[in-house]
Structure 1
Amino acid sequence: MGKILTHMTMSLDGFIAEPDDQIGELFDWYQAGDITVDNPSDDVVFSVDEGGAEVLHQLTDNVGALISGRRLFDIADGWNDVHPVGAPVVVVTHQPPSNAERWPRTTFVNGVEAAVARAREIAGDRDVTIASADIIQQALNLGLVDELCVSQVPVLFGAGIRYFGELVGGHILLDDPTVVEGRRALHLRYPVRH
Structure 2
Amino acid sequence: MGKVISSASTSLDGFVAGPDDEVGPLFDWYEAGDRPWTSAGGDMTFHLTQADHDYWSGWVARLGALVVGRHLFDITDGWKGTHPLGVPVVVLTHSPPEGWGYPGGTVEFVTGGIHDAVARAKQVAGDADVGVAAGEIASQCLVAGLLDEVSVDLVPCFLGVGRPYFTAVAGQVVLGDPTTVVEGERLTHLVYPVQPG
Q: Quick check: 2:178–2:190 contact (8 Å CA) kept in 1? A: no
Q: Report SS of the residue matched to 2:83.
A: coil
Q: Quick check: 2:134–2:166 contact (8 Å CA) kept in 1? A: no
Query: Could you tell me how far 1:85 is from its partner in structure 2?
Result: 1.4
Report the TM-score when normalising by structure 2.
0.93
Quote the sequence identity (%): 45
Question: Where in structure 1 do 4 or more consecutive aligned residues deviate above 3 Å?
Answer: 167-170
Q: In the alignment, is residue 69 of structure 1 matched against residue 69 of structure 2?
A: yes
**Which amino acid counterpart does residue 28 of structure 1 have in structure 2?**
D
Equivalent-residue separation in structure 2 for 1:168 and 1:55 (angstroms): 27
How many positions carry a matched residue from both structures? 194
Equivalent-residue separation in structure 2 for 1:59 and 1:99 (angstroms): 33
Report the TM-score when normalising by structure 1.
0.94
Query: Could you tell me how far 1:101 is from its partner in structure 2?
Result: 3.0
Equivalent-residue separation in structure 1 for 2:117 and 2:72 (angstroms): 15
**Which amino acid counterpart does residue 135 of structure 1 have in structure 2?**
I
Q: In the alignment, what sits opposite 2:116?
A: 114
Q: Report SS of the residue matched to 2:24.
A: coil
Equivalent-residue separation in structure 2 for 1:165 and 1:175 (angstroms): 22
Equivalent-residue separation in structure 1 for 2:138 and 2:156 (angstroms): 22
Q: In the alignment, what sits opposite 2:187?
A: 185
Query: Could you tell me how far 1:192 is from its partner in structure 2?
Result: 1.1
Q: Report SS of the residue matched to 2:158.
A: coil
Q: Report SS of the residue matched to 2:68.
A: strand
Tell me, which stretches of 5 or more residues in structure 1 are unaligned?
Answer: none
**Which amino acid counterpart does residue 58 of structure 1 have in structure 2?**
G
Which sits farther off after the overlay, 55-64 or 96-105? 96-105
Equivalent-residue separation in structure 1 for 2:160 and 2:45 (angstroms): 29
Equivalent-residue separation in structure 1 for 2:32 and 2:171 (angstroms): 39
Q: How does 1:70-109 map to 2 (within 5 A)?
A: 70-102=70-102, 104-109=105-110
Equivalent-residue separation in structure 2 for 1:25 and 1:93 (angstroms): 29
Q: In the alignment, what sits opposite 1:28?
A: 28
Q: Residue 108 and residue 7 in structure 1: after superposition, are their counterparts in 2 closer, same or farther (change >3 A)?
A: same
RMSD: 1.5
Query: Could you tell me how far 1:65 is from its partner in structure 2?
Result: 0.4
Tell me, which stretches of 5 or more residues in structure 2 are unaligned?
Answer: none
Q: How does 1:155-194 map to 2 (within 5 A)?
A: 155-168=157-170, 170-194=172-196
Cα deviations across residues 128-159 of structure 1 (Å, max 9, x unaligned)?
00023110000000110111001011221111
**Which amino acid counterpart does residue 131 of structure 1 have in structure 2?**
A
Equivalent-residue separation in structure 1 for 2:169 and 2:51 (angstroms): 31
Query: Could you tell me how far 1:58 is from its partner in structure 2?
Result: 2.0
Equivalent-residue separation in structure 2 for 1:8 and 1:183 (angstroms): 16
Cα deviations across residues 102-126 of structure 1 (Å, max 9, x unaligned)?
3731110011111100000000011
Q: In the alignment, what sits opposite 2:141?
A: 139
Q: In the alignment, what sits opposite 1:54?
A: 54
